[in-house]
């Protein structure tokens, strides 16, 4: 492998080094470029390795998406690689499922077992593949294999993309721009951003890219200082960075957007010539009603509408929290429509579309399935229609609301195979675990979605030799195909993962756009690995065309919540922790010890209450309360949180692991998803994870949270 960047130190330390990994000079740092897999954003990274060991992950300065920057999770990637709780070889659960007793297997045995299980299926339909947002090439191989076997395509579900509303966002693009590619919001050049529940700088979509853009939007040279208004029931870290926070009733964000649009159109605000063709959108919107429903005063709406319309490059962003409501899709439409009203679609500082991969071969990406597909799968499992369940890159037992009954369903499946490198809550129910490499040991590529201002493909390569006797899932699938022979072998003719990738990637060779060019396709392959991917050297933005959806009035649907308001007075507002995201980070001590930006709590989980709410309940900081929903209940310590609506209580997602390693299990608490009702947004067919109501009961007990801040200090900057 060629080194990505210049070696860091010129001094060579002489030390005994018996069996040096290839291409390492003892004591000398070597940098390898690859792609971060801590979340689906696909940021480029460079990894500093010394003596064949990865030592530090940094952003790839050449990569157009994250431009050398990286988030907390990306920095912590080393602890996925070096996690003490990793599986070190293929294992079979000797004591039966859930016994947590494992016996190691040779890979040949394991593969034979796998092949035999697949081959012995009475009907290919009885095979189910449940996946997360896996690297593109793994998905393609899976796809080819399943197709060849005549089995149903993989069902893609993972909590992170659910929380960021990826599915609904794709359908929104579909409805609005007639394509499934996600929109790219040009934050950097916008000067007025209305973010409706989009936690731009935490976990939503491509947080690093958005943060980089935010930096230049705030203090960038060209544009003046742009401002952000955040509409959400709970002040998120993004809201804290915004200039104004508008606490909206959960699910009423759409109403605010409608009201703002209506005001702009009817009062002819802003500099966009005529609003006549938008009038139809808002013809049956009544600002008063909207204000009442969203509990945002009319004059606030009017002020914001004016600010939005008067801005040169205003932009509204429909975020992930909207998708968590049963009227989520309607709300997102309403928000997206605002960009139309200020004519910011396809304009600088407005909305663009992700550019797809230049070659068709690269375009087949995993896409989040409608939630009904997941429920379907669960029903089939319950009905005993699934004989073999294969799981990759997702942890449904943890990531699905307990109410969906996945945990019971999986016990009804005769044989379960997991590719997880860790024994997580789902892998515990697998008979056979074929641990995948961690991403720092793996090959791969990924077309970031959402993308950026140009075509990008992030390349992934091993930066260290695999630590243990694990095997990349792509390779396993290729081996499986070979073992199965027949149509499968024809569908997947490649000898190995690397050759497959090389074939896919060198398809780009000779493209005129590329930031680098090589004489031979082999040279291209080398440069690809040195750069850590391929991208156009100059900006190519993709302007969307708007569909005819904008010819009819925008849908208006009132939010519905599960749970009787009398019995369950509070809205449960789950949010993904900035460090642990959907719980994947929970096994990394660095991320566990990272303080939550808003509450400064390390480790631990908590529930956030508005001061008056806490007062009415007679609880204070660190008091344990019982949070009870119609489905289940959990005990958790209280954080008094000034930035949340009195009728909303918020719990971060990510803790409450039963398995998944010592660091994840070190934190007491139970998975907040257990509280959720399995309700969905019918329009987007996605899980409405924000629509459950709860009640709180003080327990009289206390548990001190590991706060960074002193409670005595009362969050003051100084005692002036």
Partner 1 sequence: MSEASPNQPKHANHPDQMPEFEERLLLAERKDWEINEAVLQPMFKTGRGFWILVAILGAIVLWGLYAWGYLIYWGMGTSGKNRPVYWALFITTFVFWVGISHAGTMISAVLRLLKADWRRPITRGAEAMTAFALLMAGLYPLIHLGRVWKFYWMIPYPNNRFMWPNFQSPLMWDLVAIFTYLIGSSLYLYLALIPDMAMARDYTDGWRFKLYRVLALGWRGTEAEWHKLHRALGIFSVAIIPIFLSVHSIVSWDFAVTVQPRWHSTIFAPYFVIGAVYSGLSALASILIIVRRSMRLQEFLRSEHFDSLGKLVLVAGMAWVYFWFAGFIVEWYGNEPIVRELIHEEVSGRLAPFFYLQMSANVIPIILLVFKRIRTTPVLLLGTTLLVNVGMFTERALIVIGSLQRNDLPFNWGSYRPTWVEISIVAMTFAGFALLYTLFSRIIPFVPVWEIKEGRLRYTLRRIGRLLVPTAAEME
Partner 2 sequence: MAKDANQSVEGSIRWALVVDLDRCTGCQACVVACHAENNMQIVGEKEAAYGRWTHWIIIHRYWEGEYPNVKARFMPVMCQQCTEAPCEPVCPVFATYHNEEGLNAQIYNRCIGTRFCGNACPYKVRVYNWFRPEFPEPLAEQLNPDVSIRTRGIIEKCTFCIQRIRRTEIDARAEGRSPADGEIQPACVQTCPTSALLFGDLNDPDSRVSQLAHSHRSFRLLPELGTDPGVIYLKGGEVNV
Nearer to partner 1 among residue 279 and residue 706 (C-beta): 706
**Which among 366, 355, 261 has a CA at the least distance from the CA of 314?**
261
Shortest Cβ 238–partner 2 spacing (Å): 7
Q: Which residues of 649-685 are buried (b: 16+ CB within 10 A; e: fewer)?
A: bbbbbbbbbebbbebbeebebbbbbbbbbbbbbebbb
3-class state of residue 156 by DSSP? strand
Binding of partner 2 by 124 (CB under 8 A): no
Shortest Cβ 271–partner 2 spacing (Å): 22
Residues 6+ apart with CB under 8 A from 259: 285, 287, 290, 291, 294, 296, 301, 305
- The option from partner 2, partner 1, none interacting with 214 (CB < 5 to 8 A, set by class) reads partner 2
Binding of partner 2 by 702 (CB under 8 A): no
Binding of partner 2 by 623 (CB under 8 A): no
Cα torsion 300, 306, 308, 310 to 10°: value is -160
* Contact assessment for residue 192 and residue 308, using Cβ atoms and an 8 Å cutoff: yes
* Contact assessment for residue 253 and residue 322, using Cβ atoms and an 8 Å cutoff: yes
3-class state of residue 16 by DSSP? coil
**Which among 68, 65, 350 has a CA at the least distance from the CA of 209?**
65
Our separate counts of H helices and E strands in the chain read 24, 29
Applying CB under 8 A, the span of 207-215, 286-294, 475-483, 557-565 interacting with partner 2 comes to 207-215
Applying CB under 8 A, the span of 205-213, 377-385, 386-394, 688-696 interacting with partner 2 comes to 205-213
- The option from partner 2, partner 1, none interacting with 602 (CB < 5 to 8 A, set by class) reads partner 2
Binding of partner 1 by 719 (CB under 8 A): yes
Size of the site for partner 2 (CB under 8 A): 87
Shortest Cβ 613–partner 1 spacing (Å): 24
Binding of partner 1 by 612 (CB under 8 A): no
Report the residue from 414, 485, 510, 715 that binds partner 2 according to the rule CB under 8 A.
715
Binding of partner 2 by 476 (CB under 8 A): no
- Site residues for partner 2, 633-692, by CB under 8 A, read 642-646, 662, 666-667
Report the residue from 44, 131, 132, 247 that binds partner 2 according to the rule CB under 8 A.
247
Residue found under tokens 């100059």? 538
Binding of partner 1 by 103 (CB under 8 A): no
DSSP 8-state code for residue 695: E
Question: β-strand 244-246 against 227-231: which pairing, if any?
Answer: parallel
Shortest Cβ 639–partner 1 spacing (Å): 16
Residues 6+ apart with CB under 8 A from 408: 382
Query: What is the per-residue binding string for partner 1 in 699-718, x denoting contact by CB under 8 A?
Result: ---------xxx-xxxxxxx
Binding of partner 2 by 9 (CB under 8 A): yes
* Contact assessment for residue 649 and residue 609, using Cβ atoms and an 8 Å cutoff: yes
- Site residues for partner 1, 649-708, by CB under 8 A, read 708
**Beta partners for 156?**
131
How far apart (Å, rounded) are the C-alpha atoms in residues 185 and 339? 11
Binding of partner 2 by 207 (CB under 8 A): yes
3-class state of residue 627 by DSSP? strand
- The option from partner 2, partner 1, none interacting with 720 (CB < 5 to 8 A, set by class) reads partner 1
Nearer to partner 2 among residue 512 and residue 612 (C-beta): 612
Report the residue from 16, 96, 273, 720 that binds partner 1 according to the rule CB under 8 A.
720
How far apart (Å, rounded) are the C-alpha atoms in residues 285 and 304? 17
* Contact assessment for residue 445 and residue 1, using Cβ atoms and an 8 Å cutoff: no
Shortest Cβ 615–partner 2 spacing (Å): 12
Shortest Cβ 70–partner 2 spacing (Å): 5
Report the residue from 145, 172, 208, 333 that binds partner 2 according to the rule CB under 8 A.
208
Shortest Cβ 136–partner 2 spacing (Å): 24
Q: Which residues of 225-242 are buried (b: 16+ CB within 10 A; e: fewer)?
A: ebbbbbbbbbbbbbbebb
How far apart (Å, rounded) are the C-alpha atoms in residues 640 and 284? 40
Nearer to partner 1 among residue 519 and residue 716 (C-beta): 716
- Site residues for partner 2, 57-116, by CB under 8 A, read 57-59, 66, 68-76, 78-79, 81-84
Binding of partner 2 by 451 (CB under 8 A): no
Binding of partner 2 by 10 (CB under 8 A): yes
Binding of partner 1 by 222 (CB under 8 A): no
Shortest Cβ 28–partner 2 spacing (Å): 11
Q: Which residues of 184-211 are buried (b: 16+ CB within 10 A; e: fewer)?
A: bbbbbbbbbbbbbbbbbbbbbbbbbbbb
Give the footprint of partner 1 on this chain (CB under 8 A).
708-710, 712-720
């Amino acid at each position: 492998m060629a080194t990505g960047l210049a070696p860091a130190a010129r001094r060579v330390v002489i030390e005994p080094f018996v069996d040096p990994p290839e291409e390492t000079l003892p004591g000398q740092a070597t940098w390898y470029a690859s792609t971060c897999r801590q979340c689906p954003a696909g940021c480029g990274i460079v990894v500093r390795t010394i003596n064949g060991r990865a030592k530090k992950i940094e952003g790839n300065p050449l990569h157009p998406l994250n431009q050398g920057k990286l988030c907390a999770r990306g920095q912590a990637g080393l602890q996925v690689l070096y996690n003490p709780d990793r599986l070190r070889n293929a294992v079979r659960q000797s004591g039966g499922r859930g016994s947590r007793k494992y016996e190691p297997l040779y890979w040949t045995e394991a593969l034979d077992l796998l092949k035999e299980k697949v081959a012995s299926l009475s009907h290919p339909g009885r095979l189910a593949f449940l996946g997360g947002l896996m690297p593109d090439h793994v998905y393609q191989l899976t796809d080819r294999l399943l197709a060849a076997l005549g089995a149903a395509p993989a069902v893609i579900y993972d909590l992170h993309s659910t929380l960021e509303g990826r599915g609904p966002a794709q359908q929104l693009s579909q409805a609005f721009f007639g394509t499934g590619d996600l929109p790219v919001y040009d934050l950097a050049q916008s000067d007025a951003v209305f973010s409706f529940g989009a936690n731009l700088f935490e976990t939503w979509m491509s947080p690093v890219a958005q943060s980089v853009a935010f930096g230049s939007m705030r203090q960038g040279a060209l544009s003046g200082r742009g401002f952000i208004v955040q509409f959400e029931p709970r002040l998120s870290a993004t809201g804290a960075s915004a200039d104004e926070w508008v606490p909206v009733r959960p699910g009423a964000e759409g109403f605010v957007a409608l009201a703002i649009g209506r005001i702009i159109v009817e009062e002819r605000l802003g500099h966009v010539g005529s609003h006549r063709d938008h009038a139809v959108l808002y013809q049956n919107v009544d600002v008063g009603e909207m204000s009442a429903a969203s509990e945002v005063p009319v004059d606030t709406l009017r002020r914001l509408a004016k600010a939005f319309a008067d801005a040169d490059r205003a932009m509204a962003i429909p975020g992930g929290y909207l998708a968590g409501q049963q009227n989520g899709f309607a709300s997102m439409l309403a928000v997206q429509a605002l960009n139309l009203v200020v004519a910011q679609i396809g304009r600088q500082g407005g909305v663009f579309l992700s550019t797809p991969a230049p070659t068709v071969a690269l375009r087949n990406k995993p896409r989040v399935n409608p939630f009904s597909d997941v429920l379907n799968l669960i029903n089939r499992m319950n009905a005993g229609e699934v004989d073999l369940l294969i799981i990759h890159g997702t942890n449904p037992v943890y990531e699905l609301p307990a109410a969906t009954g996945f945990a019971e369903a999986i016990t009804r499946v005769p044989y379960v195979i997991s590719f997880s490198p860790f024994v997580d809550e789902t892998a515990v129910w697998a008979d056979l675990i074929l641990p995948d490499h961690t991403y720092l040991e793996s090959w791969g590529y990924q077309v970031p979605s959402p993308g950026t201002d140009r075509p990008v493909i992030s390349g992934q390569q091993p930066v260290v030799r695999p630590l243990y006797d694990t095997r990349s899932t792509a390779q396993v699938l290729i081996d499986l195909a070979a073992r199965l022979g027949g149509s499968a072998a024809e569908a997947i003719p490649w000898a190995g993962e690397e050759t497959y990738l090389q074939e896919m990637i060198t398809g780009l060779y000779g493209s005129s756009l590329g930031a680098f060019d090589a004489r031979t396709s082999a040279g291209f392959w080398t440069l690809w690995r040195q750069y850590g991917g391929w991208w156009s050297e100059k900006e190519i933005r993709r302007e969307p065309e708007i569909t005819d959806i904008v010819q009819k009035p925008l849908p208006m649907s009132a939010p519905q919540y599960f749970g009787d308001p009398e019995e369950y007075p509070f809205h449960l507002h789950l949010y993904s922790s900035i460090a642990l995201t959907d719980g994947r980070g929970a096994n990394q001590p660095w991320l566990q010890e990272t303080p939550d930006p808003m509450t400064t709590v390390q480790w631990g989980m908590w529930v956030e209450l508005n001061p008056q709410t806490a007062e009415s309940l007679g609880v204070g900081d660190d008091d344990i309360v019982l949070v009870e929903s119609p489905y289940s209940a959990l005990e958790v310590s209280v954080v008094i949180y000034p930035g949340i609506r009195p009728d909303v209580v918020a719990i971060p997602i990510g803790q409450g692991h039963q398995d998944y390693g010592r660091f994840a299990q070190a934190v007491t608490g139970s998975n907040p998803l257990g509280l959720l009702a399995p309700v969905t947004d019918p329009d987007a067919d996605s899980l409405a994870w924000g629509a459950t109501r709860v009640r709180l009961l003080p327990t009289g007990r206390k548990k001190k949270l590991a706060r960074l801040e002193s409670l005595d200090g009362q969050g003051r900057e100084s005692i002036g």
